[in-house]
Chains A and B, each alone.
Chain A
Amino acid sequence: MVKYILKRLALLIFTLFLVITATFFLMQIMPGTPFNNPKLTPQMIAQLNKAYGLDLPLWQQYLHYLVNAFRGDFGTSFQYQNQSVSMLIGQRLPISAQLGAQALVVGVIAGLLMGAASARNKNNKIDGLLGVVSTLGISVPSFILGIIFLYLFGFKWPLFPVSGWGDSFSQSVLPTLALAVTPAAVVTRFVRSEMIEALSSDYVQLARAKGLSEKEVVNKHAYRNSMIPVLTLIGPMAAGLLTGSTLIENIFSIPGIGQQFVSSIPTKDFPVIMGTTIVYALMLMVMILITDILTAIVDPRVRLQ
């Protein structure tokens, strides 16, 4: 297991290097400069390029970036004057991550409950209703739900604040719910099909034959086994949620990383684009690694190699 993890970590560093290199050179294709003021003349741009070292040959800039990144210095934002990229991401990522984590917890718990309820009531009214709900949840994008929630619970019945973050917990309720619906729906469908399979399996038949109560059969045998595949689903889902939803952050005016990443691209804020890409890649890879390890722990049949 230790050997496996080390191997994966080495691969992770190599992948990161590839991501840095690809992003760095792809960014050069974008037109324009990172300077926002449209009134700058070519001479003034040349002076600014010199001040920021953007006049150096590309390979030198690339090497500088690699060396500095290795030391943990990801540069200073062009858009947010004087703000280092580590500070910029360091302040915004936790906000997105908190929102994502809340949505993940709410979504997964709701999904597990609804999936189990659906499977146990297979083909009756409850199952049908939950089927409709989960289909809607998968097909309606979170930003539409966000706007609907905003209208209903922010303006029509003003129960929750409609914008901002960090002043009170209530500000996070609507965005969390909007983001939680899709994972809840996905998990519901997944758990339902896994449970149905488990409930008709031999070991459940045996448990029933032994005379265990229905509650014990479901909770001890069927449910646990149908949780395993859900784990593989949660990893990548977590990576997606934790790195921030641009549209939800925009609708609810949340100062998260997703919004920041998108606005850094048209302004050509190189250091921020690079820094955010690295963080995203890292999170996705770490989540997948954790999922693999967890799967091995939960399911003794899986051997990591």
Chain B
Amino acid sequence: MDTWKKWAIGAAVVVVVGGGTRAAGLWGGSNGSSNALKFSFPTEIQTLDFSKNTDTYSGTIIGNTGANLLRVNAKGKAVPELAKSVKVSKDGLTYTATLRSGLKWSDGSSLTAKDFVYSWQRIVDPKTASQYSYLASGVKNADAITAGKAKVSTLGVSAKGNVITFKLERAMPQFNYLLTFANFMPQKQSFVEKQGKKYGTTSAKQLYSGPYKFEGWNGTNNSFKLVKNDNYWDAKSVKTKEIDYSVVKKPETAVQLYKQGKLDRASISTPELYAANKSNKDKVKVPEATTAYIEYNQTGKNKFLANTKIRQALNLATNRKELVDQVTSGISTPANGLAPQGLAKTASGEDLAKYAAPGYKYDAKAAAKLFAEGLKEVGETKMTLTITSDADSSAAKTTLDYLQGSLQKPLPGLKVEEKFVPFKQRLSDSQTQNFEAVVSLWGGDYPEGSTFYDLFKNGASYNHGQFKNSAYTAAVNKAETTDALNDAARDSDYKTAEAALYKDANFNPLYFRAGYSLARPSVKGIITNTTGLNIDFKYAYRK
């Protein structure tokens, strides 16, 4: 009997002493200086190979440890970074970038124009098999090279001395932003080839050109840090010496750590966390440049959806405000067009989404009237509509549940059926037109309208409903050719395009996705972007 008691006391002592010494910091572990900024990711990071990366959080590390020709500033404009200047020819087909002198990699070796050429060639090379090679589409021969029909060396990117020249096949209004992108940051050929298959798999197997160096990541571990890069060209603007990162998978835990002062930022984007922290004064909105919308199958396979009045009725019967409140606890924003809030600014500095909004609204009465007329036109008295959505996302599920209930009420004769399939199945169903209506999400790649307006051009591969709207296509084409370098004219083209989509009710915008975070007010200078690098620490510091 006594033996058991001794054991129990022993075990209790171990726990108490262990906990106590840990609390006293005797076990090490509380790494980093107290002045360091502290952030977390909800998942592990995957790679530092930025030609291949598809992961947002790996992208945050990559973007803060790297630099490109231009960098997006606090006002959302692309300003010179490694380039002294970037000039564009009158036809918009040639861009000439001149590098600053004395640029260096984090290891002290010199960074040259050739490193940019190599990086552009690497991403379009079919051997690299990058999932983002399409971003280079428009640069001379990029598509042909990716398809394996031309040599990598024929790409329209060349270097001479400290000048890099880009030749384009067509004018690209977004090209300046591509020059800020992490995927196109310089890479040193000799380093990449030396690392071979292990390139970018640990923090030691990458070179850095940006404000910070990345340290302490062995490919698996969950705590690592960004350390100021003294070889960065603008190191004098970087006030923070160290940013500690850890992986905290449960968002509730991250919020608790924020409240204990152990993290400087925590996402509260789930409806439950948002509801619990709504009145916290540290709350900030984080727009995402992502639009959720319904696509209607307009191939003619479904005679109801081929009818404009029925589509208009469905759009009018959609109560976007209520949807946002019920599905996302009011976190997201009701959509009033295709291009989302926070994506881009017009020439005069207004939000593009606000400027181009064609006037989507909820009007049950008008909807019922149009629906009755539409049914008459197709010679039916009732309609069954199957809407497809993702089975593996709780937001997608609640969205569809809401739509089912709310569309049927104002439209007598309508029966909405739910069809849930896995995300990957939904993508392939959309691409093969195996749907009647489908809830889709689209996120922008760069802060310019074409990242959204390219979607629905006649014959475009993302136009899953396969509708043809000539007025829309003409307006978007005009924006991307004649008006490519004329910001104000392009804005008005996009407005025309939105109006054309609205008139024919070719799609049904639901909401612009957004999130909320708790952010430490004493940490200043963080730049958040809706596309590209989502959180930029270059100017960040603790006051």
Q: Which residues of A contact B (CB under 8 A)?
A: 30-33, 35-44, 47-48, 50-52, 76, 79-84, 87, 91-92, 95, 110, 113, 116-117, 120, 150, 153-155, 158-171, 173, 250-251, 253-255, 259, 263, 266, 268
Contacts and interface: CB of A to CB of B under 8 A. Distances in A.
A254 B462 contact: no
Interface stretch (B45-53, B97-105, B519-527): B45-53
A91 B218 contact: yes
Q: Give the size category of B's interface with A.
A: 35 or more
Given A48-B131, A87-B219, A31 B428 contact: yes
Chain B contact surface mostly = loop
Contact of B222 (A37, A164, A263): A164
Interface in B200-227: 200-201, 218-223
Contacts of B218: 91
B52 A81 contact: yes
B247 A37 contact: no
Contact of A168 (B23, B28, B43, B462): B28
A82 B49 CA distance: 8
Q: Can you list the 4 inter-chain pairs with the closest CB atoms, starting with the nearest?
A: A32-B424, A168-B29, A159-B19, A51-B129
Contact of A251 (B46, B49, B250, B428): B250
Nearest to A37: B131
A253 B250 contact: yes
Contacts, number: 170
A153 B52 CA distance: 41
Given A35-B131, A117-B4, A167-B223, A41 B462 contact: yes
Given A80-B46, A91-B220, A36 B54 contact: yes
B306 interface: no
Contacts of A153: 19
B247 A253 contact: yes
Given A37-B131, A47-B126, A164 B223 contact: yes
B251 to A, nearest CB: 11
Nearest to B432: A42
B49 A255 contact: no
Interface of B: 1, 4, 7, 11, 18-20, 22-23, 27-31, 43-44, 46-47, 49, 52-55, 126-127, 129, 131-134, 146-148, 197-201, 218-223, 246-250, 253, 256-257, 260, 392, 421-425, 427-428, 431, 441, 445, 461-462
B136 to A, nearest CB: 12
Of B23, B126, B222, B250, which is in contact with the most chain A CB atoms at under 10 Å from its CB? B222
B409 to A, nearest CB: 32
B425 A82 contact: no
B47 A166 contact: no
Given A48-B131, A87-B201, A167-B29, A33 B424 contact: yes
A192 to B, nearest CB: 13
A250 B44 CA distance: 11
Most chain-B Cβ atoms within 10 A of its Cβ — which of A38, A81, A113, A153?
A81
Contacts of B129: 47-48, 51-52
A163 B249 contact: yes
Contact of A163 (B47, B199, B221, B253): B253
Contacts of A173: 18-19, 22
A47 to B, nearest CB: 6
Given A42-B431, A164-B223, A253 B248 contact: yes
B220 A255 contact: yes
